[in-house]
Amino acid sequence: MFRSLQYDDRDQVTLTINGWEVAAREGQTVWSAMAVNGQVETRRAALSGDARSAYCAMGVCFECMVEIDGLPNQQACLRRVSEGMNVTTQRITEESEADDAGL
């Protein structure tokens, strides 16, 4: 279980993570905002669709790719939260791509 060691709530922004409105500190990474709010599933693996989550938290594993404001493949550990940001677990897999191709 992730938790923050900070005890004050200054410089807060509000963002949405998988439909939940949450508060986070300005400048905080998107991944850490997800982690403390229990939203640890960042993406689905491209072939199997298995749940994945951040592994390195420093930009070298690309496991934390989420969708931010509709744009996919955003590394949650590198992006910072901002007011009104909309973050969702990335569910793009080979299967979903095949579905989209039929549109």
Partner 1 sequence: MQAFDCAIVGAGPAGMCAAIELARAGVQVAVLDRAPRAGGQIYRSAANSPVPDVAALGADYAAGAALISEFEQVNLTHFTGADAWHLGDDGRILFSHEGNTQELRCREMLLCPGAMERPMPIPGWTLPGVMTAGAAQVMLKSDAIVAEGAIFAGSGPLLYLIVAQYLRLGVPVTALVDTTPRQHYLDAAPHLLRALRHSGQLRKGLALLREIRTSGVAIHSVAERLKVVGDNKAEGLRFVAAGRQHEITADTVFLHHGVQPNLNMTRAMDLDHQWNSEQMCWQVSADDFGQSSIEHVSVAGDGAGIVGADGARAEGRLAALNILRRLGHLSRAERDQKAVKDLSVLSSIKSFRRFIDCLYRPTDALRLPRDPETLVCRCEEQSLDDLRKGFDQGAQDPNTLKALTRCGMGPCQGRQCGHVVAGLLAQWRDEHPETIGYYRLRSPQRLLTLDELSRYHTVQVEAAE
User: Segment 69-98, which members bind partner 1 (CB under 8 A)?
Assistant: 71, 73, 75, 77-78, 80
Verify binding: residue 23, partner 1, rule CB under 8 A: no
How many Cβ atoms sit within 10 Å of the Cβ of residue 1? 5
Across 64-90, b (16+ Cβ under 10 Å) vs e yields: bbbbbeeeeebbbbebebeeebebbbb
User: Which is closer to partner 1, CB of 20 or CB of 94?
Assistant: 94
CA distance 100 to 103: 5
The least distance separating partner 1 from the CB of residue 71, rounded to whole angstroms, comes to: 8
Binding site for partner 1 (CB under 8 A): 1-7, 25, 27-29, 31-32, 35-36, 40-41, 45-48, 50-63, 65, 71, 73, 75, 77-78, 80
